[in-house]
Homo-oligomer: A and B are copies of this chain.
Amino acid sequence: MSTTPQPLIHESVEAAHKLIAPYIRHTPVLSSTSLSGLASSSDLVLTLYFKPECLQKSGSFKIRGATHALLRLPQSALASGCGVTTHSSGNHAAALALAARTLGRSTGNPGPIIYPIPAYIIMPNISSPGKIASVRGYGGQITFSGSTHPERAAVLAEVQQRTNAIFIPPYDHPDIIVGQGTAALELIQDLSPNGLDVIVAPVGGGGLLAGTALAAYGSGIQVYGAEPSEGGADDCARGLKAGERIPFVSTLTIADGLRTPVGEHNWKIISDQQYVKGVYAVSEEEIKKAMKLGMERLKVVIEPSSAVPLAALMFNAEFRQRLVQEFPNHAGPIRAGIVISGGNITLEKVAELFASED
């Protein structure tokens, strides 16, 4: 990674956006009167705005951080041909492969390839065929590993030794964090000057939530996190209560992008009340209900992890009560922005989740 990472401040998110803008999509803002209506009650009237990063290149926001991390590397490191590497079974793997392919060209995409940047992706050997195909489709070179952390780390070390590839971590690095924050930055700018009152982002490793908090810093917009509760996946909320980061999580929540513990850099931001006001958890059934509402009303494909913030806003009574208290005598509806982090799910998986039970 870059020898001098970007400081974790708002201005770094703005600088990251300038760097990556030519290589990513500026996704639109979506809204649905009917969905806002369904999310409102007599004491909490909401207008919802959605940032659909499912429409982003690679199908998730992860391309923002990956592209930023690569652009922050010294040009000599990229031109060396040693390439980059990561371990991920999910969206970061596809994003890094695509970012490496895109930047391994002279100017923009699809210009001629001047220097290829190999992307070595370490994936658990139990990864789904769809995810493997996606990484290969973007030109990633896969090495399989066992699925435990020591097994993956061993294969990563072996690949780095063999290739000299630079490790690009999935979430716990300042260059990744400020890159992910550019999604919220666009949302805030696109809705200016009427503005937002609140932004809710999902939290797994915490890169997106920390980046969102930096993007919103100084705007007066409150930032909240949302996570699954299944099998202890609510490590962030539990950590906040206990006053320290929970470094290990083992859960099989359907929100498979949020199974990781919060990273160390991310924790510093997320546990600071001036950045993140609170984190709320939701059940598997609530995630499925939100996923159904989101897909049927917004007409975009939403993977389970990405339905978690909508689920928290709609179904977590404690979170809703908190908003009522935070905005007493608020003129008009509370305007809540929701980052839909990705849409990488097969229709067979949708079918498995929503098959009727008769």
The chain A residues found within 8 Å of chain B, CB to CB, are 28, 30, 33-34, 52, 54-55, 59, 110, 137, 291-292, 295-296, 298-301, 343, 345-348, 350-356
Contact = CB atoms under 8 A, between A and B. Distances in A.
Contacts of A355: 348, 351-352, 355
Contacts of A54: 299
B301 A343 contact: no
A8 B13 CA distance: 51
A34 B110 CA distance: 13
Contact of A301 (B34, B110, B295, B354): B295
A11 to B, nearest CB: 30
A139 to B, nearest CB: 11
A296 B292 contact: no
A351 to B, nearest CB: 4
Given A354-B351, A355-B351, A356-B351, A296 B346 contact: yes
Contacts of A55: 30, 298-300
Contact of A300 (B34, B300, B352): B300
A270 B179 CA distance: 49
Contacts of A295: 301, 347
B348 A354 contact: yes
A345 B353 CA distance: 16
Most buried by B among A292, A345, A354: A354
Contacts of A351: 350-356
Most buried by B among A52, A110, A301, A345: A301
Most buried by B among A33, A299, A343, A348: A299
Given A299-B55, A299-B300, A301-B300, A348 B343 contact: no
A300 B297 CA distance: 11
Nearest to A292: B347
17 contacts: A28-B28, A52-B299, A55-B298, A59-B299, A291-B347, A292-B346, A295-B301, A296-B301, A299-B300, A299-B343, A300-B300, A301-B301, A347-B354, A348-B355, A351-B352, A351-B353, A352-B355
Contacts of A296: 301, 345-347
Contacts of A347: 291-292, 295-296, 350, 353-354
A54 B34 CA distance: 15
A304 B166 CA distance: 44
Given A28-B28, A301-B300, A356 B350 contact: no
Nearest to A54: B299
